[in-house]
Amino acid sequence: MSSKSLQPLRIGVAGLGTVGTGLLQLLASNGQRMAAILGRPLQVVAVSTRNKDRDRGVALDRLRWVADATKLATDPEIDVFVELIGGADGVPKAAVEAALHAGKHVVTANKALLARHGVALAKLAEGKGVALNFEAAVAGGIPIIKTMREALAGNGVRRVYGILNGTCNYILTKMQDEGLAFNDVLKEAQAKGYAEADPTFDIGGFDTAHKLTLLTSLAFGTEVAFDQIHIEGIETITLADIQAADDLGYRIKLLGVALTTDAGIESRVHPAMVPKHAAIAQVAGVTNAVAIDGDFAGDLLLVGPGAGAKATASAVASDLCDIARGLHLPPFATPSANLKPYARAPLGTHKGAYYVRLTAHDRPGVMAAITTRMGEQGVSLESIVQRRPRAALPGIGATPLPGAQTPVILITHETTEAAIRKALDGIEADGKVAAKPQTIRIEKL
């Protein structure tokens, strides 16, 4: 072994939150074993963090502290800049750009940064001959980036989809298992630290969309295009939807889905009904799952912890190991100069079955009007379930309530998004429903 191979890989870490601290703990626990495998040690030599004095449960006394993350990024005594600050712009973006310009390798967990600026950063990294690695940016400890960038290089990917946000999966699982309302489970998730005080980024689907942006580029060799993803969150999912899905043989999951079609690429984030027998339907709690359909490898499913100090630190360490071995691949597998422009398929062309829940006025002619509007758009109905509210009257028992608002559940055969939307617009315009219809796509996985 040459003396050069024994030189440590010198690392500067910006951000000592959950992941940064987890990385220091991992290197303290497994550093010697990793050095034996790699032929050189991974050595953190400097850190940048807003609060130098906070007790993080790891020894920092031997590390040099640099107040400015951008200065750390260009520090001549580091080989790799690890960015764990987070955020699409500002200091993280400036620091990563500075590191790449200075010829430093970069490892980041920053999905928002890459979803917005990934192509420009990839071009810069490739031009400087350095690595830009981001295994930790998607699905925590699941090695999905390495799998798609390396292990599936010989495959044409037809579709990639998955559960990419543990907060949403936890909420939907608790609603399913314990019959709890959305707001009650959200409060519990916040109390346990699974959800932020402002949970919009998670429950609104934006976190999933950032991750799906990166998977879409890796899968289809396109430029990152966060602003082209259709995004829906789980805020409108009610216990009634969860229970209806269960009765119909489905589970509701927030999915990120990207696939190629004749009209272009569909990249969408939304709640979906998946068959109970599908493997992804069994993924519960804060666990993540990513499925890939390859033309030669077939259907693959990777399941594991999608967040947390240990799982995400493991992903960061994986990227550092690649750099220590001298493995530098184009960040998005395809060289940035060969990435194709993203060609978005209009959402209206999406084809599939739908679950629709209507709050209908219980009076003559309502159901006929609803089915007429569906028929006008060529939407064929597989089933209609109407559950009329009933009240117990003394000496009589349960009796229908005249004129009450009645939940009506429709399951369609395969149709287009445009057709179902036009039909529902017509139903609302007719005044036959008392609330905005709830629509959930049914995914046949």
SS3 letters across 355-400:
EEEEEEECCCCHHHHHHHHHHHCCCCEEEEEECCCEEEECCCEEEE
Q: Are residues 15 and 131 in the same domain?
A: yes
Q: What is the mean pLDDT of residues 329-348?
A: 95
Per-residue model confidence (pLDDT) at position 404: 67
Is 375 a residue whose pLDDT tops 80?
yes
Least confident of 188-202, 373-387, 400-414: 400-414
Q: Are residues 298 and 277 in the same domain?
A: yes
Q: Are residues 97 and 157 in the same domain?
A: no
Q: What is the mean pLDDT of residues 177-184?
A: 95
Confidence (pTM): 0.92
In a domain, 317, yes or no: no
Q: What is the mean pLDDT of residues 47-68?
A: 84
Q: How far apart are the first and last CA of the chain?
A: 50
| CATH number where 424 lies | 3.30.70.260
Per-residue model confidence (pLDDT) at position 4: 47
Q: Are residues 151 and 264 in the same domain?
A: yes
Q: Are residues 356 and 432 in the same domain?
A: yes
Q: What is the mean pLDDT of residues 329-358?
A: 95
Q: Return the closest-CA partner of residue 10 out of 42, 47, 48.
A: 42
Is 164 a residue whose pLDDT tops 60?
yes
Q: Which of 211, 253, 422, 432 is catalytic?
A: 211
* Host domain of residue 433: 349-442
Is 401 a residue whose pLDDT tops 60?
no
| CATH number where 21 lies | 3.40.50.720
Per-residue model confidence (pLDDT) at position 386: 78
Round to whole Å and give the CA distance between 322 and 138. Answer: 17
Q: Are residues 70 and 120 in the same domain?
A: yes
Residues 6+ apart with CB under 8 A from 414: 351, 352, 353
Average of per-residue pLDDT values in the chain: 92
Per-residue model confidence (pLDDT) at position 1: 41
Q: What is the mean pLDDT of residues 75-94?
A: 97
In a domain, 331, yes or no: no
Q: What is the mean pLDDT of residues 334-346?
A: 95
Tokens of 48: 């940048």
Round to whole Å and give the CA distance between 56 and 392. Answer: 60
Is 45 a residue whose pLDDT tops 90?
yes
User: Which of 137, 152, 170 is the endpoint of a domain?
Assistant: 137
Long-range Cβ pairs for the range 338-341 (8 Å, 24+): 338/221, 339/119, 339/217, 339/221, 339/222, 339/223, 340/220, 340/221, 340/222, 340/223, 341/222, 341/223
Q: Are residues 372 and 411 in the same domain?
A: yes
**pLDDT above 70: percentage of residues in the chain:** 95
Is 250 a residue whose pLDDT tops 60?
yes
Per-residue model confidence (pLDDT) at position 119: 97
Per-residue model confidence (pLDDT) at position 281: 97
User: Which of 94, 116, 137 is the endpoint of a domain?
Assistant: 137
Is 319 a residue whose pLDDT tops 70?
yes
User: Which of 283, 305, 327 is the endpoint of a domain?
Assistant: 305
Per-residue model confidence (pLDDT) at position 6: 73
Whether 253 is a known active-site residue: answer no
CA distances from 324 to 37, 79, 131, 231, 246 (A): 10, 10, 11, 38, 49
Q: Are residues 201 and 294 in the same domain?
A: yes
Q: What is the mean pLDDT of residues 365-391?
A: 85
Q: What is the mean pLDDT of residues 419-430?
A: 95
In a domain, 339, yes or no: no
Is 328 a residue whose pLDDT tops 80?
yes
Is 406 a residue whose pLDDT tops 90?
no
Per-residue model confidence (pLDDT) at position 192: 85
Is 196 a residue whose pLDDT tops 50?
yes
CA 192 to chain CA centroid, nearest Å: 20
Angle at 374 between CA 228 and CA 371, to 5 degrees: 150
Q: Are residues 9 and 132 in the same domain?
A: yes
Band (pLDDT 50/70/90 cuts) for residue 390 is very low
In a domain, 322, yes or no: no
Tokens of 433: 């429903």
Per-residue model confidence (pLDDT) at position 28: 94
Band (pLDDT 50/70/90 cuts) for residue 10 is very high
Angle at 309 between CA 307 and CA 310, to 5 degrees: 95
Q: What is the mean pLDDT of residues 374-392?
A: 80
Is 2 a residue whose pLDDT tops 80?
no
In a domain, 60, yes or no: yes
Is 194 a residue whose pLDDT tops 90?
no
Q: Are residues 150 and 227 in the same domain?
A: yes
Give me the number of domains the chain comprises.
3
In a domain, 326, yes or no: no
Pair type for strands 438-442 and 264-275:
parallel
In a domain, 320, yes or no: no
In a domain, 119, yes or no: yes
Q: Are residues 276 and 228 in the same domain?
A: yes
Q: Are residues 154 and 301 in the same domain?
A: yes
